Amino acid sequence: MHLQWGYIRHRYSDSERRSVRKAFTFWKTKFLQVSRPDKPQEPKLPWPWRDNAKWLFELNNARSMQNAWEALDIESRQKQWPYIMLSTLDRCPDKAHMVLEATLNPLPPGYAINDVLLFIAQRLRISSIKNLRERTLKAEEILEMVAKVLEDTPAGHVPLGQRTAGLLARRLPSEQASELYKMLQRANIKLHPNSLLQFAGKLAGDMAHKDTAFEILKGLADNGVDLNAPSPSSAITTLLHCRIAHGGWSDSSSSFSPKDTLEYFLDRGFVPNVINATAFLDSLCQRAEVEEAIRLALLFSEFGVQLDTKAWSTIFRGAKGSLKVENVAKSMDVAKAANAPYVDVLNNALHAIFYFAEMESREKRFSAPWIYPLFGPMLRAYAKKFELEPLQWWLPDSLPLMLTQTTGNDGEKFDSTRIRQWDFLGSIVPLTEKTFAAQSSGPKLQPNTTTIAIMLRAYIKTLQHPYDLMAFYAFFKARLEEQGGKEGFAAQLIKDQGSLVHDTIIMAMMERRGLARAALQIFGDMLKDHLQRSATEDAERSDETSGKGQIRATGPVHPAPGLCTFSILVRGLFNSGDRILAEQVLHVMKEQGVEPNLVTWNTLTKGYASMQNIKKTVSTLQDMEAAGFKPDLFTFKAFGKLKNQARALELMEGIIDVNRQKIVGEDLYG
């Protein structure tokens, strides 16, 4: 406070200074009272100005507020402004940005404007707004208010604080943060390195603004900022991580290159650590530059970057995603450099077979049910390193007997009437067998829950006949209920793997005609156990509070249905034309507090569009946008299922026009 007064006192003549100092002290004292986090609901001594702004902030928008404000004479506005603003900050802080924007004529003191801006920035929680349109509207309102302050006030009038700039950079969405940065540059406002790092960190996370973030960080590097300090290193990590959007879209207009960026910073003394090295490697893998990612991972290791399991998993995921056996083989060298746990390496090798088979089935457009000859080759590899007993506990078939069968699909249960040629049997399977055949001393390994889940999913995907699928679930369910949620194999599997195995069974059933009811029964087991568990825990917690008992240390028998469970069911029910049941499952999903993701919204869009239900398709797209999701390639493919797309677009335009008229009406009469 004293420093601020020392800065502004020289702007006034001796005759003005006393009254200005009085106004300054009043504002600062009262502003401190209303902006304190521990501000009392009711002050001990009533604030006479508390409700002064009610007539203003109860209006709907800044334009209405400005009209009402400018209806007062200038002298009244000058006199009332501090009380109006303090009253708004105290009684209606969510509209502080509107009131500030509406009351800038005549111009309030610059120090007070800066305080209000800081107040707004500290309380800004745009990310908590779920509706995309509302979130964007709020961000644009804040940006418009800041623009008016910067552009409509004389240079230097508002001593914009670095803390304010940094908070706005961090809390505004990247699009508005980028616009704010350009505004501050146009206004010749010099930003502190810490504020610049806030802008760089925010913009670095958005592909559309990575070039700007890179320019900011280059400027900091040229000015001697230590790039290896925590904040610059974190911003560089974000900058190096380039995610490809869902649906395979990327910003093709961006010229940003993670390779060139890393080389630039290395030349200026940047030393990669495992976190930013992993981010960079993931970017290369997502851009399908897997060979380069493997080469650089090994190079990082040679230069002292101690790769960890996450770094190796990133490389292996990229190698597996490339569907090139040679990349998977090379990734094993990265596993050695990262000292990856041996069981994890074996698990990933097993899952590579599963993944290659699934991708091959999609590429060849095999029709449902999607059955792969997986279990036999995977079991033979598994048996070379792992104990059979833990897996045998989960399966009704004799594993030693299956291991003696070396031809065909390893048993009558897996025999297929469909003749399909599979490339993965001659590509990834031999590599996995080679990995498992490597010499190792000591007894066989104990599989972990990830190993068991991979093998169970392979077993399920290999079952040919509906009866065998239903019989397996009955056996699996009996094993789960045998331990009743108490500590053991079953509880650990559910704890570690969640609904993964249940979801695989449900998916396999939904692919077969006539098994939808059986799939819904599995869903019912999951939901029933979850609801009973929740009710029991509430009762036991109540008893514990009252001293009547203790909470029992048992886990759920079945996992709670997750987003993936609901999505599989909804997609399967839509595919079978059962819209009513699909909507009932969606209703249960909402009741359980499970929020849909973009995949769920695309599933709904495709389902309604395939049924040629134009109104439902349009309303789903609106709800998706309202939930904060942007359409991707799969959304447009789903919308393409509609035959009468012109009618749907007309309907959407009509709704937009109605909404626009509502907004105009609010502006005119608010």
Rounded to the nearest 5°, which phi and psi values hold at 445? -85, 155
Render pLDDT for 502-526 as a digit per residue (tens, 0 to 9).
999 999 999 998 899 999 999 999 9
State the average pLDDT over residues 262-282. 94
Render pLDDT for 388-413 as a digit per residue (tens, 0 to 9).
999 999 999 999 999 987 554 555 56
Which amino acid, one-letter code, is at 325? V
pLDDT at 122: 94
pLDDT at 280: 94
Cβ count within 10 A of residue 245: 13
CA-only gyration radius of the chain, Å: 31
Give yes or no for residue 11 having a pLDDT over 80. no
Q: How far is 329 from 603, CA to CA, in rounded Å?
A: 36
With bands split at pLDDT 50, 70 and 90, how would you rate the model's confidence at 251?
Answer: very low
pLDDT at 42: 77
Which amino acid, one-letter code, is at 604? L
Query: Per DSSP, what are the bridge partners of residue 386?
Result: 445
State the average pLDDT over residues 412-430. 81
State the average pLDDT over residues 432-457. 91
Tokens of 52: 């002064």
Cβ distance 336 to 297 under 8 Å? no
pLDDT at 157: 84
Give yes or no for residue 196 having a pLDDT over 90. yes
Give yes or no for residue 36 having a pLDDT over 90. no
Task: Report whether the peptide linkage leading into residue 369 is cis, meaning its omega lies within 30 degrees of zero.
Answer: yes
pLDDT at 174: 95
Q: What are the structural domain ranges in the chain?
A: 1-191, 599-670
Cβ count within 10 A of residue 478: 10
Q: What is the DSSP letter of 501?
A: H
Mean pLDDT of the chain: 87
Rounded to the nearest 5°, which phi and psi values hold at 590? -65, -40
Q: Which residue has tokens 């399908």?
A: 288
* Residue 514 burial by Cβ neighbours in a 10 Å radius (0-12, 13-18, 19+): exposed
Give yes or no for residue 85 having a pLDDT over 90. yes
Task: Report whether the peptide linkage leading into residue 106 is cis, meaning its omega lies within 30 degrees of zero.
Answer: yes
With bands split at pLDDT 50, 70 and 90, how would you rate the model's confidence at 254?
Answer: low
Cβ distance 167 to 121 under 8 Å? yes
Positive or negative CA dihedral for 583, 584, 585, 588? positive
Q: How far is 535 from 237, CA to CA, in rounded Å?
A: 44
Q: How far is 388 from 580, CA to CA, in rounded Å?
A: 44
Cβ distance 161 to 167 under 8 Å? no
Q: How far is 484 from 478, CA to CA, in rounded Å?
A: 10
Give yes or no for residue 450 having a pLDDT over 90. yes
> What DSSP string runs through 423-459?
SGGGTHHHHHHHHHHS---SSPBPP-HHHHHHHHHHH
Q: Which residue has tokens 């209703």?
A: 587
Whole-prediction pTM:
0.81
Across 7-11, 131-135, 346-350, the highest mean pLDDT is recorded for: 346-350
Q: How far is 657 from 635, CA to CA, in rounded Å?
A: 23
Render pLDDT for 361-374 as a digit per residue (tens, 0 to 9).
989 888 878 888 99
Query: In 3-state terms, what secondary structure has residue 589?
Result: helix
Cβ distance 594 to 569 under 8 Å? no
pLDDT at 355: 96
Cβ distance 628 to 130 under 8 Å? yes
Give yes or no for residue 33 having a pLDDT over 50. yes
Cβ count within 10 A of residue 593: 6
Continuous segment of H or E residues that includes residue 365? none
Query: In 3-state terms, what secondary structure has residue 187?
Result: coil
Q: Which of 94, 89, 96, 98 is nearest to 67 (CA)?
A: 98
Q: How far is 321 from 359, CA to CA, in rounded Å?
A: 9
Which amino acid, one-letter code, is at 282? D
Q: Collect contacts of 135-144 with beta carbons under 8 A, ≥24 apart.
A: 135/173, 135/628, 136/173, 139/172, 139/173, 139/175, 139/176, 140/176, 141/62, 141/97, 141/98, 142/97, 142/168, 142/172, 142/176, 143/172, 143/176, 143/179, 143/180, 144/101
